Amino acid sequence: MEKVLTARIGKKDSRSIDTYLADGGYTGVKRVLTSGMTPEQVIEEVKKANVRGRGGAGFSAGVKWGFLPKDTKGKPIYLFCNADESEPGTFKDRLLMENDPHQLIEGMILASYAIRCRNAYIYIRGEFYDGARILERAIGEAYAKGYLGEKILGSRFSLDITVHRGAGAYICGEETGLIESIEGKRGQPRIKPPFPAVSGAFAAPTIVNNVETLCCVKHVIDRGAEWFLKIGRNEKNAGPKLFCISGHVNRPGVYEAAMGLPLKDLIFGAEYAQGMKGGKKIKAVIPGGASAPMLTAAEIDDCPLDFDGVAAKGSMLGSAAIVVINEDACIVDVAKNLSKFFSHESCGQCTPCREGTPWLYKVLTRIEAGQGRMEDIDLLARICNQMANGMTICVFADAAIAPPLSSVTKFRAEYEHHVTQKRCLVGARAAELVTV
Amino acid sequence: MSSTPVAPPPSAPPPAPPPKDTFTVSFDGKAIEVPKNLNLIDAAKLAGVDIPHFCYHPRLSVVGQCRMCLVEIEGMPKIQAACTVPLKDGLSVKTTTDKVKNARAATMEFLLINHPLDCPICDQAGECTLQDNSFGYGNQLSRFDEAKRQYPTFDRTMIGPHVVADMTRCIQCTRCIRFTHEIAGTSELTFLDRGGRTLVWTHEGQPLANDWSGCAADVCPVGALTTREFRFRSRVWYLQKTPSVCPGCNVGCNISIESRDDVVYRFLPRLNPTVNDYWLCDYGRFLSEPLNDRDVHKATVREGSAVREATVPAAVDRIAREIRSSLEGKGPGAVFFLGSAHLSNEENFLLRKIADHVGSPNRDAIVDKSRPRKVKSKTVWVEGDDAGANHQGAKDMGLSPGAGGHGLDAVIAGKASPEVILIADAAFSAIADDPEKVAALRRARFLAVAARNANALTRAADVVLPAASLAEKEGTFTNVQGRVQKFDRAFLPKPPIRAAWEHLLLLALALGFGDRSWTPHDLLRQIAAEVPDYAGIKEEELEGGRLLKKGDFAWAGRP
Ligand SMILES: Cc1cc2nc3c(=O)[nH]c(=O)nc-3n(C[C@H](O)[C@H](O)[C@H](O)COP(=O)(O)O)c2cc1C
Ligand code: SF4
Ligand code: SF4
Ligand code: FES
């Protein structure tokens, strides 16, 4: 596939507005603002392209924009670009922001025009210090060239974009947690309804979209919905997509491909991760970031990497962060490691999540340390089952149970071995333990 | 031939049904009509269905955090937190399915795994929502085999002048935080940290020192916030609850006097949406402490330079004799009657009747001004600044100088020199402890007072009658809103102590009017018959008006 989102990445000075303009950047903005294309027409085009949200949930951006109230009762409409990118294994938005910031800015201008937003914000994770500086510089360039600010390109449309740095909380990536954080409050998700499109930041209608989603918008407007829909396995799962692959592969990194790229191709393809490091076998693959249930080696055959393809395997594409785990890794250790993350990042407001995530971590720690009991294995599954499916305000808890629940279900023998033998059932690590 | 079809006669459209101001909602198959603006939890209550909850509070924003109020809603696949489900017509709620039971049991288990379960040493035991719900939804055995979370330096610590915090017991429901933010408007409390380490504390070590800090302990469903004053003093199930009215100021907050063995242990706010709602100010709340103070136990009568004990009837007789002799000698103008903003309407009324009976126009009831106090009702702040609960009532009962009569100012200033002064409440004002002013009153030939505690006035008086405290009598107060509010007796005064109205009734009888059988109820009937603004007031109305029905009233502590 021709590179779209990453086409300019790697080119000299790809961050600067001059190279961006030279590569045909901002023509979409020019065309929309000078051709008399209405905001509704922009929304319609994005709806038609079925740009499914790249932040994790895969919800159609155009449809979401359509939820905005027709009459906002004098309230402004906000666009928040979700650049919190904290899902373990995910590092695609960073690449886009640090290397081609104008692509995102253009996407945001078009989206803002479509939803009639006057003030847009980029909520960027605090650790992305460079990204924030790069974005700010690029925003400055865009103001200087008249693509931002009052009456853009002489039109009646004005827009300001502000970069807001987070303070290091995964939960601020959840859209209502993000909104609370921008309001200056403790970052914790809100109960829904009302949904942000109806009542979001400062009780005003608010659209939250992921960085990559907004970048896609730029290309949909440049090249049309028809073009976008042709990329990928089917029209429900279309468009260019960034995949972040990490773990025990030869060439981890971010790869752009059409939606629906077979998972095996991503792991073994010559243009992608080029196979397993040291020729080891795959034990498990996490297909969509830490929140996605693990797949076994058998399940990765015939798994198209798109929203419906991964869902059909009982997991999710999520943020398209593919973590490949080889036979030498202890699955209990993997689950424990991920549980530590979730127990650290729960915002703590819902009882099941606040209490359940550390409990899971403690039990996993115990099993991993050889102090587990057989009952612990079922206990893990039971704790998981009583945390999810409506038990909490946001789906963090549903995410947090993915690693322990999927691993306990799919790799139960490893857990049992850990309990009875008090050590891991794996190659290198087990061998080490045996020789001691 | 014309084929134009004959139009059917225009049938009048059926009259549109009047728009309902209720929704039809069903709980476990039983449909009821509920007001549209209710929360589902309160709607369920109307249907007689209890939905267990911790974080929901009818006056605080809905946060859906504790996840205890889980229910099934027809048409929604996932379990729902009832407090967050907007009411609508036709909503069908299920609260008894296995899915609901399991979900609530799950939340209960999560709440208890790190809870210290130190009920045996916890003041909240007996009125703890966690304890109660654990009976309904908890497990006998814990599956949690890890070390419980500890909060070094955040346990058993005073976070303000009254409130003691123990984070080991906290269930992170944020009611206290929302109280300081949304009701007090002072926002001292906040969540610190996150996840399993989340705890409630004050911002940067600032104290929880607003005027209503005790309410934070009230809204706390567990023993994480308790008051210094009540800690470790009594098991709550031993406490008798008596509906009463706060004596602190003319806001007249509705309270529950909580007593045991004739000792008052605490005041709690008693729900009255039109006055104090669920709240109570700290000043009033902790008046429960001095309510137990007493150093006047017996009647005393001065004979020459000696003060000797007397029976109450004998002491009252003496007052009656002095009044009569002055009347005979100097006429009605020689007697002065002083009521009090701390006395009930019935007491002040009876005092005024006595003044009427002897024909004296010299009568008064004054009040000290206090620091302005306010309490939030359901809708507005109610503000007061009288240092007594019933100045309005005392004035309404006619305790101000009659034609040609004098008030207290004139007496103290020496513009009037009554021979006999009867002060029905020795604590009527700070004047009673001001030596100069007491000396001015002492210019009278005879000075009689009723008192609970000694002060300059009682030390100067010729007759001192031992008077009951608020907890030891019943009656009504009229607050700053003009609301007549009834208070009940928590326990009987220890003989020979009597309520001021009993002293006054004895005096009336000695002076030749009244009926030995009169009670405060009879006096209220007389007030209803005689006092213009109070015309027709019925005691039943006061009780029916959501106020004061002993033993059966909404106590604000545990919504
Ligand atoms: C716990 C949690 C963390 C999330 N973190 C992110 C994130 O870092 N970046 C992101 O774009 N979306 C994140 N999301 C998804 C957002 O809530 C939201 O769905 C998304 O930003 C919407 O944008 P999209 O429709 O363009 O994908 C997270 C969701 C949850 C529940
Ligand atoms: S599920 Fe967890 S992260 Fe989400 S709101 Fe509840 S406590 Fe916070
Ligand atoms: S201290 Fe009490 S009221 Fe405050 S959050 Fe904890 S349990 Fe709730
Ligand atoms: S009462 Fe509904 S979640 Fe707490």
Q: DSSP string of B488-508?
A: --SSPPPTT-B-HHHHHHHHH
| Angle at the Cα of A366 from the Cα atoms of A360 and A369, rounded to 5 degrees | 135
Ligand found nearest the CA of A125: 1
A21 and A141 assigned to the same domain: yes
pLDDT, average across residues B483-509? 96
Are residues A262 and A157 both part of a single domain? no
Nearest CB among A171, A352, A389 relative to B107 is that of: A352
Top-tier CATH class for B22-96: alpha beta
Ligand 2 closest atom vs CA B195? 7
Is residue A92 assigned to a domain?
yes
Angle between the N-to-C axes of helices A129-144 and A101-115, in degrees from 0 to 180, rounded to the nearest 10: 60
- Would the CB of A213 count as within 6 Å of ligand 2? no
Pocket test for ligand 1, best of A47, A67, A80, A82 (most atoms within 8 A of CB): A82
CATH code assigned to B299-375+385-530: 3.40.50.740
CATH code for position A253: 3.10.20.600
pLDDT confidence band for B547 (50 / 70 / 90): very low
Is residue B277 predicted with pLDDT exceeding 90? yes
Q: Look over chain B and give the mean of its residue pLDDT values, rounded to a whole number.
A: 93
How close B62 gets to chain A, by Cα (Å)? Answer: 9
- What's the confidence (pLDDT) of residue A36? 87
Structural domain contains residue A27: yes
Residue numbers of B between 482 and 511 with CB closer than 8 Å to A = none
B9 pLDDT higher than 60: no
Q: Is A153 on the interface with B (CB under 8 A)?
A: no
Could you tell me the distance, in angstroms and rounded to a whole number, from the CA of residue B80 to the centre of ligand 4?
Answer: 10
Ligand 4 mutation target, pool B69, B110, B111, most atoms within 8 A of CB: B69
Angle between the B345-358 and B520-530 helix axes, to the nearest 10 degrees?
Answer: 70
pLDDT of B294 = 97
Of A327, A317, A319, the C-alpha closest to A284 is A327
Contact across the interface for A344 and B195, Cβ inside 8 Å: yes
- Is A344 in the B-facing interface, judged by CB distances under 8 Å? yes
Q: Do B79 and A389 touch (CB under 8 A)?
A: yes
Could you tell me if A185 lies within 8 Å of chain B, comparing CB atoms? no
Which one of A348, A379, A391 has the shortest CB-CB distance to B106?
Answer: A391
Higher pLDDT, B547 or A273: A273
pLDDT given at position B421: 98
Integer Cα distance of B225 and B167 in angstroms: 8
Using an 8 Å Cβ cutoff, are A97 and A104 in contact? yes
What count of CB pairs under 8 Å joins A to B? 99
Contact B110 A379 (CB under 8 A): no
Please report the pLDDT score of residue B551 as a whole number.
28
The set of residues, in sequence order, having a beta carbon less than 8 Å from that of B340 and lying 6+ positions away, is B348, B365, B388, B390, B394, B423, B424, B425, B427, B428
Distant-in-sequence, close-in-space partners of A385: CB < 8 Å, separation ≥ 6 = A401, A405
Residue A403 belongs to domain with CATH number: 1.20.1440.230
Q: In Å, how far is A313's CA from the nearest CA of chain B? A: 22
Alpha helices, DSSP H only, in B442-514?
456-460, 500-511
> Which residues does residue A347 pair with via DSSP β-bridges, in sequence order?
none
Q: Report the residue of chain A nearest B61, measured CA to CA.
A: A191
What is the rounded distance in angstroms from the CA atom of residue A354 to the CA atom of residue A349? 7
Claim to verify: residue A190 and residue A77 sit in the same structural domain: yes
- Burial degree of B83 (CB within 10 A; 0-12, 13-18, 19+): buried
Model confidence at B318: pLDDT above 90: yes
A44-61, pLDDT tens digit by residue? 999 999 999 999 999 999
Are B450 and B503 in contact, with CB atoms under 8 Å apart?
yes
Residues A186 and A245 in one domain: no
A256/A156 same-domain check: no
Helix/strand/coil percentages in chain B, nearest 5: 30, 20, 50
Q: Check whether residue A55 and residue A117 sit in a common domain.
A: yes
Please indicate whether the domains covering B119-128+145-292 and B299-375+385-530 agree at the CATH topology level.
no
Interval between CA A293 and ligand 1 midpoint (Å): 17
pLDDT at residue B13 tops 70: no
In a domain, A5, yes or no: no
Distance between Cα B296 and ligand 4 center (Å): 51
Chain B residues touching A350 at Cβ < 8 A? 64-67
Q: Give the ipTM of the model, two decimals please.
A: 0.94
Distance from CA of A393 to the nearest CA of B (A): 7
In a domain, A423, yes or no: yes
Asked whether the beta carbons of residue A389 and residue B78 sit closer than 8 angstroms, the reply is yes
A355 touches chain B (CB under 8 A): yes
3-state secondary structure of B546: coil
The C-alpha atoms of residue A287 and residue B490 are separated, in whole angstroms, by 69
- Cα distance between residue A88 and residue A101, in whole Å: 23
Say yes or no: A195 contacts chain B, CB-CB below 8 A: no
Given a cut of 90, whether residue B4 has pLDDT beyond it is no
B73 touches chain A (CB under 8 A): no
Domain ranges of chain B: 22-96, 119-128+145-292, 299-375+385-530
Same domain, residue pair A134 and A210? yes
The pLDDT, as a whole number, for residue B10 is 57
Among A77-91, A276-290, B81-95, B538-552, where is mean pLDDT lowest? B538-552
Residue A6 lies in a domain: no
Spatial distance between the Cα atoms of A401 and A353, rounded to a whole number of angstroms:
10
- In contact, A90 and A82? CB cutoff 8 Å: no
What pLDDT was estimated at residue B14? Answer: 67
pLDDT of residue A423: 87
> At A33, which CATH number?
3.40.50.11540
Interface mutation vs chain B, best among A174, A181, A349, A366, most B CBs within 10 Å: A349
Among A281, A302, A326, residue at a domain's last position: A326
A contacts of B114 (beta carbons < 8 Å): 355
Q: Count of alpha carbons within 13 Å of B528, Cβ hemisphere only? A: 15
- In DSSP terms, B32 is beta-bridged to B25
Same domain, A151 and A275: no
Using one digit for the tens of pLDDT, what is the confidence trace for B145-177?
999 999 999 999 999 999 999 999 999 999 999
Q: Which residues of chain A have pLDDT under 70?
A: 427-436
Q: What is the CA radius of gyration of chain B?
A: 29
Distance from the Cα of residue A31 to its chain's centroid: 30
> Looking at residues B93-101, what average pLDDT do you find?
97
Q: DSSP assignment of A208-245, as one string?
A: EEEHHHHHHHHHHHHH-HHHHHTSEEETTEESEEEEEE
* Higher local confidence (pLDDT), B537 or A242: A242
Is-contact B218 B192, C-beta < 8 A? no
Complete DSSP assignment for B381-440: EEEEEESSS-HHHHHHTT-S--TT---HHHHHHTS---SEEEES-TTSSGGGG-HHHHHH
Q: Are strands A295-296 and A304-305 parallel, antiparallel or unpaired?
A: unpaired
Report the alpha-carbon distance of residue B447 to residue B112 in Å, rounded.
64
Inter-axis angle of helices A101-115 and A92-99, to 10 degrees? 100
The answer to whether residue A393 neighbours chain B at the CB level (below 8 Å) is yes
| Alpha-carbon span B403 to A276, nearest angstrom | 107
Contacts of B198 in chain A (CB under 8 A): 347-349, 354
Domain end position, chosen among A202, A229, A256? A229
Full domain range(s) for residue A397: 331-427
Are A317 and A340 part of one and the same domain?
Answer: no
Report yes or no on A51 lying in a domain: yes
Ligand 1 geometric centre to CA of A51 (Å): 15
Q: Which ligand is nearest to the CA of B57?
A: 4
Number of domains, chain A: 3
Calculate how close chain B gets to A398, using CA atoms only, in Å.
Answer: 12
A397 and A318 part of one domain = no
Do A36 and A113 belong to one domain? yes
* A156 and A287 fall within a common domain: no
State which of A291, A326, A361 marks the end of a domain.
Answer: A326
Residues with CB under 6 A from ligand 1: A 53-57, 59, 61, 82, 84-87, 170-171, 173-175, 208-210, 213, 394-396, 399
Check: CB of residue A217 under 8 Å from CB of residue A104. Answer: no
Quote the pTM value.
Answer: 0.93
Where does B119-128+145-292 sit in CATH, by number?
Answer: 3.30.70.20
Relative to the alpha carbon of B175, which ligand is closest? Answer: 3
C-alpha of residue A245 to centroid of ligand 2, in Å:
27
Contacts of B191 in chain A (CB under 8 A): 186, 348-349
SS3 B250: coil
- Cα separation values, A278 from A118, A424, B30, B510, Å: 53, 21, 66, 112
Burial class (CB in 10 A: 0-12, 13-18, 19+), B486: buried
Do residues A322 and A340 lie in contact, with contact meaning Cβ atoms separated by under 8 Å? no
CA nearest ligand 1 atom 5, residue: A173
Ligand index nearest the alpha carbon of residue A90: 1
Q: Answer whether residue A8 is part of any domain.
A: no
pLDDT of the residue at A166: 96
